[in-house]
Amino acid sequence: MNKTFKQGVGLLELMLAIAIISLLMISAIRYFSIVNRSNRVNQALTEVNAIRAAGERWKATHDDNYKTLTAGTELKDLVNRGLLPDIYGLDSVKNPWGGTITATMNPADNSQLNIKFSNVTNPDCTNFVKIIKKNGCTPTPADTCNSSSTSIDVTASC
């Protein structure tokens, strides 16, 4: 009796290959999500540092701290004086989460500049607040990430 073997891929091999590819795709998607979240937080920290440094340069040359900045246009004032890049002079500066970035004088203390990021997602907010604290800024309110909403305002007083 002559046995003949058929060449090709069987159902078991095909299902095994699909399972392996699925596991690899799930791992890649999770990794991409973590990296994307980390990049947004790092970009926001870079923006905080840029605004903070511009504010420090302003204070170094003005005895009145932030009093001579125009209320509501603090970022534009810092751009007009060459302390921040032109992108911050736009009417609405976008943060990494698609919300806005605003910087305002602290009315109680003219030596503080409040930097506000709106539309920060809950998971990113926790990481962002931890990094802001390590960077020497104070997020307000202190329990800002305990909200159940999908968009949170983070204000950092630096």
Q: Is the pLDDT of residue 127 over 80?
A: yes
Q: Which of 155, 152, 156, 149 is nearest to 120 (CA)?
A: 152
Q: Is the pLDDT of residue 7 over 80?
A: no
Q: Is the pLDDT of residue 11 over 70?
A: yes
Fold that domain 15-157 belongs to in CATH: TcpA-like pilin (3.30.1690)
At residue 16, the pLDDT reads: 95
At residue 82, the pLDDT reads: 85
Q: Residue ranges of the domains in the chain?
A: 15-157
- The span from the CA of 119 to the CA of 84, in Å, is 23
Q: What band does 76 get if pLDDT is binned at 50, 70 and 90? A: confident
Predicted TM-score (pTM) above 0.75: no
